[in-house]
Amino acid sequence: MALNLIMLGPPGAGKGTQAERFARTRGIPKISTGDILRDAVHEGTPLGQRAMAVMDRGELVSDDIMIGIIGERLNRDDVRGGFVLDGFPRTVPQAVALDGLMAARDPLIVVDIVVPELELARRLASRMICADCGANGAAGEIVCRRCGGKLVQRTDDNHSVVLERLRIYNMSTKPLVDFYRGRPTFRSINGAQAPDIVAADLASAIEAAGNGNGSLTGGRR
């Protein structure tokens, strides 16, 4: 059975870090929307060319383009054993489209990483990012662990922008939790813990969801 995982959570919840760690441990690809969008543009696929034209105009890539690019990515051979989706879906219409793409596949496991808003604001205000490869770093670090590049503070992590990002998340992305909550493969975990504990809770939640046991597990609240 393929392990098809969606990671949900607000900005600063640590879902990108946990998704990468879990994917590496299980030997399945982590599919980031930013990465596959850049790949599609670089490879010059028809959808990539459409996306580049939109981005060149300074506009957001539409749902239909993103869904098409995700569909192309999920048709590659390396996802036969499963995948971890990070950054998609972001809206309920995208989630509905993803269900269509998954119709003939093993079910999706959905994990929501929950962190209080005050903790999110604290994390985001101190978050660092690599100026070269875009990887996240920890507060106090100055060199990227992935490529050795310089770590800088994200330009969109000042206090007012952080609050706006959380407001947008609550308005447009949080409804995904309600969309998925009733499924037997949905789980919620406490992300306001040390990363190793979150990783252990994540693994336990995914195992339970794969077995279809209950509707909530994995969080030391």
pTM of the model: 0.77
Cα distance between residue 33 and residue 38, in whole Å: 8
CB of 132 closer than 8 Å to CB of 147: yes
pLDDT digit of tens for each residue in the chain (221 aa)? 899 999 999 888 888 889 999 999 999 999 988 788 888 788 888 888 888 887 777 676 788 888 988 998 999 999 999 999 988 998 899 999 999 999 989 999 999 999 998 888 887 777 778 888 877 776 567 788 889 898 887 655 566 777 777 888 888 778 899 999 999 999 999 999 999 999 999 999 999 998 864 433 333 33
User: Helix (H, G, I), strand (E, B), or coil: what is residue 32?
Assistant: strand
β-pair partners for 113 = 189
β-pair partners for 126 = none
CATH 3.40.50.300 for the 3-127+158-211 domain, yes or no: yes
β-pair partners for 44 = none
Annotated catalytic residues are 15, 90, 127, 154, 165
Q: Domain-by-domain residue ranges, the chain?
A: 3-127+158-211
Q: Which residue has the tokens 């441990």?
A: 25
The sheet carrying 136-137 orders its strands as: 136-137, 128-130, 151-153
